[in-house]
């Protein structure tokens, strides 16, 4: 079995590692080189290696599909519990989820978004855009009332 296909394969693996660690624009070019090298290595590989890779991919996708089916069944069970009358506990947990969703997280700190009241006033600004009269709506922020 010729081992020539390993050269682009290992080149692809090394460049994929560099692509993963790189954050600048050169990383994108390296990512393209990695993808091309991996594809070229798999094309040059003997049929036994290609068959082995195909079996590995099929087995792994089967496991992923089983995990997704398990999650789907769990969601169906939760929906049945909600519909059957045990929804009091679910409602309390949903209220906690809603409170958690009301707070936002930005760079490690939590905050709650404030409601900003915006008033749209019709104001005509005289102007022309490509030879046609142009009308624009002016947006004015109004102070928030404390009621």
| 31-59 pLDDT tens trace | 888 889 888 888 888 889 889 989 998 99
Q: Does position 81 have pLDDT exceeding 70, yes or no?
A: yes
Q: Which residue has the higher pLDDT, 52 or 91?
A: 52
Provide, rounded to the nearest whole percent, the portion of the chain with pLDDT above 70. Answer: 69
What is the DSSP secondary structure assignment for residue 62, as one 8-state letter? H
CA dihedral (90, 92, 98, 99) positive or negative: negative
pTM confidence score: 0.40
Q: Which residue has the higher pLDDT, 51 or 78?
A: 51
- Gap between the Cα atoms of 19 and 23, Å rounded: 8
Domain boundaries, the chain: 1-45, 48-85
Contacting residues for 46 by C-beta, under 8 A, at least 6 apart: 1, 2, 5
């Amino acid at each position: 079995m010729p081992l020539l296909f390993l050269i682009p394969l290992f080149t692809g693996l090394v460049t994929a590692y560099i692509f993963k660690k790189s954050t600048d624009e050169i990383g994108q070019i390296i990512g393209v080189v990695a993808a091309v090298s991996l594809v070229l290595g798999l094309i040059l590989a003997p049929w036994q290696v290609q068959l082995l890779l195909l079996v590995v991919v099929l087995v792994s996708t089967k496991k992923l599909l089983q995990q997704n089916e398990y999650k789907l069944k769990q969601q169906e069970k939760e929906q049945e519990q909600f519909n059957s009358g045990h929804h009091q506990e679910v409602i309390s947990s949903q209220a906690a989820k809603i409170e958690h969703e009301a707070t936002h997280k930005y760079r490690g700190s939590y905050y709650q978004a404030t409601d900003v009241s915006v008033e749209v006033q019709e104001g005509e600004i005289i102007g022309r855009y490509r030879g046609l009269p142009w009308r624009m709506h002016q947006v004015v922020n109004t102070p928030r009332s404390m009621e």
